[in-house]
Amino acid sequence: MSDVKISVIIPVYRIKEEYLRECLHSVLHQTLQEIEILLVDDGVTDEIAAILDHYASVDKRVHVFKQEHAGASAARNTGIKNAVGKYITFVDSDDHIAEDNLKAVFSFAEKNELEVAVWGTYKCFPDRMEEYMPFIETIPLLNERLKRDLMLKTMAGDLPVYDRRCTPWGSGACCAKLYLREYLNREKIVYPVGIERSEDVNFNIRAFDKADRIGYLHRFFYYYRQLADSATYRYRDGGIAVFEKALHALKEFLDENHKPELFYQVYYMRCIYFLLSGMDMDYLHPDNEKPLRKRLLELKDKMGEEPFRSAAASVDLKELPFAKRIPVILTKHRLAAVMALFYTVYKRMGTHAQISDPKKCSSSIKQRQ
């Protein structure tokens, strides 16, 4: 039997050297030493490949797996396939973790005999940090109602369908979670290959659904770097297609598992959210050189296509605050120009909760608590 307690899977593709080194430093210097680090080279440059090989040569806990570029889902599946630890966790190569992260969550999972453990995240912007978590207190073992809430949050973080124990934020990302490897293998839970966006949501919704023992630790160990040049913000003509694939997989899950209407209501709002995200990636992106009229016509056509048309027609507006009703109504009536104006104003009016110590966002590991 392996004495590795946690397998840390890190897919590596497009990454700045400084971010990668910070990430690896944070993992290699964990207070929990009985770990392995699986670096999945998903088609990196020769310079980054040399860095990965160097780390593997100086620390026997580091293993490098090379593959042709196939995307984050395939890379994480490579890690799952080759992991030997009792638990699996994922870290993105441009993020980092607190030095006591793995020790704390391992102890928490062992004490409560968990199949999945979840904890809090700091979203790191250049000028601030935001706390991101599904609950506001530690819950050693989620009951069925709280498990349902976690799944709903995973699908669409801020719909007003939760009680006071819950925060308005979700938990869709694969990071800041610990999975019992035997559980993932037994239930054949892997990443959906071919889905480029929201693949984490499709993975976690299945992992949470089948798990009998899920716990939440109210600690913030994971530092999620928000990058302006990431795929989230990069211009992509017709980019909304990547969201449509994710929505199709999510709808399949709901249908196959006969989920109740509340899950479908959250799914419908996820469709609207992805339509708005498509505006960021394509229709209203500053790098889109198409005439505005052409872009608005494309947006209007997309509003009339599935799954957005059915979603807008099926949302129960009584469950939504006024501001969230607006994009649903605009989508239903295909008012593209008004939608573009609404979204532009909405984004400019957006405010962000800032924690008291923005220095934690520093790229220096030494400045992390």
Residue 99 above 50 pLDDT? yes
- Paired sense of beta strands 87-90 and 96-97, if any: unpaired
Q: What is the pLDDT of residue 198?
A: 82
Q: What is the pLDDT of residue 173?
A: 85
DSSP string, 122-179: EEE-SS-EEEE-SBSS-BSS--HHHHHHHHHHHH-TT-S---TTB-S----SSSSEEE
Neighbours of 158 (CB within 10 A): 15
- Average pLDDT rounded to a whole number, residues 96-115: 98
Structural domains in the chain, CATH included, are 6-230 (3.90.550.10), 240-349 (no CATH)
Neighbours of 201 (CB within 10 A): 26
- Average pLDDT rounded to a whole number, residues 56-78: 96
Percent of the chain at pLDDT above 90?
A: 65
155 phi and psi, to 5 degrees? -75, -40
CA diameter of the chain: 63
Q: What is the pLDDT of residue 365?
A: 30
In the predicted model, what is the mean pLDDT of the chain? 87
Q: What is the pLDDT of residue 1?
A: 53
* pLDDT 10s digits, 357-366: 333 333 333 3
Q: Contact, 133 vs 167, CB < 8 A?
A: yes
Q: What is the pLDDT of residue 160?
A: 45
Confidence of residue 30 (pLDDT cuts 50, 70, 90): very high
- Average pLDDT rounded to a whole number, residues 80-96: 97
Q: What is the pLDDT of residue 229?
A: 53
- Average pLDDT rounded to a whole number, residues 32-51: 97
Residue 344 above 50 pLDDT? yes
Distance, CA of 171 to CA of 9 (rounded, Å)? 19
Distance, CA of 270 to CA of 60 (rounded, Å)? 43
Distance, CA of 296 to CA of 139 (rounded, Å)? 46
**Range picked from 114-123, 195-204, 276-285 for highest mean pLDDT:** 114-123
- Average pLDDT rounded to a whole number, residues 245-262: 94
Which residue shows structure tokens 């250049």?
126
Confidence of residue 230 (pLDDT cuts 50, 70, 90): low
Least confident interval from 5-9, 124-128, 284-288, 346-350: 346-350
Nearest CA among 216, 231, 227, 233 for reference residue 176: 216
pTM recorded for the entire structure: 0.88
The secondary structure element, H or E, covering residue 23 is helix 17-28
* pLDDT 10s digits, 306-341: 999 999 999 999 877 788 889 999 999 999 999 999
- Average pLDDT rounded to a whole number, residues 190-194: 88
Residue 165 above 60 pLDDT? no
Residue 232 above 50 pLDDT? yes
306 phi and psi, to 5 degrees? -80, 145
Q: What is the pLDDT of residue 361?
A: 35
- Average pLDDT rounded to a whole number, residues 65-91: 96
